[in-house]
A and B are shown apart, each in its own frame.
Chain A
Amino acid sequence: MAGLTEEQVSTQVGKVQVFRGGPAGPGAAGAVPLVYLHSAQGESNGLVLLERLADSFDTVAPVFPGFGESEGIDEIDDVEDAVFHLLDLFDQMGLGAAPVNIVGLSLGGWLAAEIATRYPERIGRLVLVNPAGLYIQGHEIKEIFGRDLDELALELFADQSHPVAVLMHQMASLATSTQGPDIPFEMLRPLLQSQAATAKLGWDPYLHNPKLQRRLYRVTAPTLIVHGAQDGLIPRAHAEAYAEGIADARLVDVEGAAHMLPLEKPDELAALVREFVAA
């Protein structure tokens, strides 16, 4: 099994964490790198999916500013800034010369779509997993900010016995105990930081760019849209709208997975990606 190693990359906004690994070692010549853009949950370090992907691809998983140990969120105010940060990061890592493949979950899927509409030539193949980024009237994305964690876990996970779902339920019961929250601040810190970073990009407009849908025609990369059949956060209509707006797109439903599909079905998703990239 391929492992990923952590590196620090200097960008215009500050140093960011990147996890990278692949079958022939990081950055092997000839292989098209596969970039994984995480969701608002900040999943990266130790993610099983990344290890599965690294079995087949030179896998690059940057940690967005404000998440993990990545610096620079003060310099980023909106999606426009986020796109420029990612382009800068790709260039710093030598990923600017040839197209890369991108897999993005939720917020990460939105950012991938923003890059693909603006700079289509920089993307080889695109995989959008439960992507945010659009507003579909009557099929709104559920609230993620300030939510009761018990309720949110039900929307994020098809299986409530998943360890992260269990942790969310435990934190919910701590937060609502009559004695007030009694969670050590150091445990809360990363959560507060990543939520604040997400709010910068997606508080208003709420997790979408009103101009994105009519720009989707610009995406030239073959695109796979993956929808978790039990996703309680982002309705299927969003996946359908992406599939409709992007010329060369295919939509796949994965049963037994909700919004955090890469955590719940890492093997299935890795297989879908392998098959799609090889095709």
Chain B
Amino acid sequence: MRFFSFHLMPYPALPESYDGPAWVTCPNELFDPAVGHEVYNRYLDELILADELGFDGVCVNEHHQNAYGIMPSPNLMGSILARQTKNAKIAIVGNALPLYDPPTRVAEEFAMIDNISGGRLIAGFVVGGGPEYYSFSMNPAHARERFAEAHEIIMRAWTEPGPFEFIGKHYKLRYVNTWPRPVQQPHPEVWIPGAGSLETMEFVAKHHYAYMGIPYFHISVFDRTFRMFREACEREGYEYDPLQAGWLEPIYVAETDEQARAEYESHFWYFVKRLLPGINISPPGYTSLRSIENILKGAKTFAINLETWDEVVEGQYAIVGSPETVTEKLIESLRRLGTGNLLGLFQLGTLPAHLTKKNLELFATEVMPKLRKEFPEGARVLGDQAAVA
């Protein structure tokens, strides 16, 4: 098992009076640069702390024009982390490839981070969320085609001697010759986050990349998602490696179950009720019809519809409790999901610095060692029952 600390870098100070979406049209006059200065530095400190506490990696991601995650350029954060962390992998999950033109920009910046960090980059590629296609006025009907071409350009830029020519439908590049080249050869590990789209799973399976399940759904949705991913690998003719799958999950550890809920709950609701609205807009043509049908199966369980803490606990929308409770729940769920990467969200919504720090420390000292013992690296994660089912 590998452990990652994932940071969304949320904007924690939306005024009470604002009840609109946190995406695309959320007025930017609500952004207070004084808050920005404080939280950017604080959030970086929290990722650096994870490195010091022995996490295997830290994760950042890309979103635009929103309060959910104020990280339009995860590569800026990744380059800071490349200097300020020592051992952790730096997983940028990911760059929204269709938004970079030409996409060789991604090959360049990722390779820079891999060079600076001495080969610690994990390269994440995403199509970009639905809201991004509004925020960039980019045609969602071309999203998948652009992603496919950009991916090909980047991987060839890293693995083929340049210069070479790439003439596609969307990109026509006469001289692809990326400097620098990545430290990790033939290329950095590639991660692709997905929300249950079949095309994405099949793409990841085909290329032997790793699939990261996007959270905020009932745990049963993840059961199905990772089963579908394992089946996609089987159709490609191989058994998946647990390290090819990652489960992203909000986690909060405190001294007791009662204390954990008391310290965490209001911050979780800020996240769900204030920062999620608007995230799930799906522009026309962005997802294929067969994928929409599959995604809609889980749509009812999307966290935005949550009303009570009991529902949160029952569906494992967040795993919250004492070290014993959290350990027990994680072992049980990881066995069922079979994922070899656990991506914890240890800061969520308005969770303040001191509680985030305590959460990370308790997890690293009280939970992680037990999980490492339970799931030695390289060993099978999936329980037998789930394998049969």
* Residues of A near any B CB (own CB < 8 A): 77, 145-146, 178-182, 185, 188-189, 192-193, 195-200, 203-204, 206
On whether A180 and B299 interact (CB within 8 A), knowing A185-B293, A192-B284, A199-B283, the answer reads yes
Residue in contact with B284 in the complex, picked from A145, A178, A189, A206, CB distance below 8 Å: A145
- For B140, the chain A residues whose CB sits under 8 A away are 199, 203
- For A189, the chain B residues whose CB sits under 8 A away are 289
On whether A199 and B285 interact (CB within 8 A), knowing A179-B305, A180-B302, A181-B296, the answer reads yes
Do B139 and A203 touch (CB < 8 A)?
yes
A selection of 8 A-B contacts at a CB cut-off of 8 Å is: A77-B142, A180-B301, A180-B302, A199-B141, A199-B283, A203-B139, A203-B140, A203-B141
Do A195 and B285 touch (CB < 8 A)?
yes
A182 — nearest CB in chain B belongs to which residue?
B300
B285 — nearest CB in chain A belongs to which residue?
A196
**Is B379 in the interface zone, CB < 8 Å from A?**
no
Do A206 and B137 touch (CB < 8 A)?
yes
A194 — nearest CB in chain B belongs to which residue?
B284
- For B296, the chain A residues whose CB sits under 8 A away are 181, 185
**Is B281 in the interface zone, CB < 8 Å from A?**
yes
CA distance A193 to B292 in the complex (A): 11
- For B134, the chain A residues whose CB sits under 8 A away are 145-146
Do A196 and B284 touch (CB < 8 A)?
yes
- For A196, the chain B residues whose CB sits under 8 A away are 141, 284-285
* Residues of B near any A CB (own CB < 8 A): 133-134, 137-142, 281, 283-285, 289, 292-293, 296, 299-302, 305, 307
B306 — nearest CB in chain A belongs to which residue?
A178
Most chain A CB within 10 A, of B134, B141, B283, is at B141
The smallest C-beta distance from A12 to any residue of chain B, in angstroms, reads: 18
CA distance A15 to B307 in the complex (A): 49
Could you list 20 further interchain pairs (A-B, Cβ under 8 angstroms) beyond the known A192-B284, A192-B292?
A77-B142, A145-B283, A146-B134, A146-B283, A178-B307, A179-B305, A181-B296, A181-B300, A182-B300, A185-B292, A185-B293, A185-B296, A192-B289, A195-B285, A199-B139, A199-B141, A199-B283, A203-B283, A204-B137, A204-B139
Do A200 and B139 touch (CB < 8 A)?
yes
Do A198 and B139 touch (CB < 8 A)?
no
On whether A146 and B138 interact (CB within 8 A), knowing A179-B305, A192-B292, the answer reads no
- For A197, the chain B residues whose CB sits under 8 A away are 285
Do B300 and A198 touch (CB < 8 A)?
no
- For A146, the chain B residues whose CB sits under 8 A away are 134, 281, 283
Residue in contact with A179 in the complex, picked from B142, B284, B300, CB distance below 8 Å: B300
B282 — nearest CB in chain A belongs to which residue?
A146
On whether A200 and B285 interact (CB within 8 A), knowing A179-B300, A180-B300, A185-B296, the answer reads yes
Residue in contact with B299 in the complex, picked from A145, A181, A195, A198, CB distance below 8 Å: A181
The smallest C-beta distance from A172 to any residue of chain B, in angstroms, reads: 15
Most chain B CB within 10 A, of A146, A179, A192, A193, is at A146
Do B138 and A204 touch (CB < 8 A)?
yes
- For A199, the chain B residues whose CB sits under 8 A away are 139-141, 283-285
CA distance A145 to B285 in the complex (A): 11
- For B141, the chain A residues whose CB sits under 8 A away are 196, 199-200, 203
- For B307, the chain A residues whose CB sits under 8 A away are 178
The smallest C-beta distance from A13 to any residue of chain B, in angstroms, reads: 15
- For B299, the chain A residues whose CB sits under 8 A away are 180-181
- For A192, the chain B residues whose CB sits under 8 A away are 284, 289, 292
- For B300, the chain A residues whose CB sits under 8 A away are 179-182
CA distance A185 to B294 in the complex (A): 10
B292 — nearest CB in chain A belongs to which residue?
A192
CA distance A196 to B140 in the complex (A): 8
The smallest C-beta distance from A232 to any residue of chain B, in angstroms, reads: 19
The smallest C-beta distance from A146 to any residue of chain B, in angstroms, reads: 5
The smallest C-beta distance from A106 to any residue of chain B, in angstroms, reads: 16
The smallest C-beta distance from A80 to any residue of chain B, in angstroms, reads: 14
Do B284 and A198 touch (CB < 8 A)?
yes
B302 — nearest CB in chain A belongs to which residue?
A180
Residue in contact with A178 in the complex, picked from B137, B142, B285, B305, CB distance below 8 Å: B305
CA distance A193 to B140 in the complex (A): 13
CA distance A196 to B130 in the complex (A): 13
The smallest C-beta distance from B252 to any residue of chain A, in angstroms, reads: 25
The smallest C-beta distance from A20 to any residue of chain B, in angstroms, reads: 29
- For B139, the chain A residues whose CB sits under 8 A away are 199-200, 203-204
Residue in contact with A180 in the complex, picked from B281, B284, B289, B305, CB distance below 8 Å: B305
- For B292, the chain A residues whose CB sits under 8 A away are 185, 188, 192
B170 — nearest CB in chain A belongs to which residue?
A77
CA distance A145 to B133 in the complex (A): 11
CA distance A242 to B305 in the complex (A): 46
CA distance A180 to B289 in the complex (A): 18
- For B284, the chain A residues whose CB sits under 8 A away are 145, 192, 195-196, 198-199, 203
CA distance A192 to B283 in the complex (A): 9
A143 — nearest CB in chain B belongs to which residue?
B134
A177 — nearest CB in chain B belongs to which residue?
B305
- For A188, the chain B residues whose CB sits under 8 A away are 292
- For A203, the chain B residues whose CB sits under 8 A away are 133, 137-141, 283-284
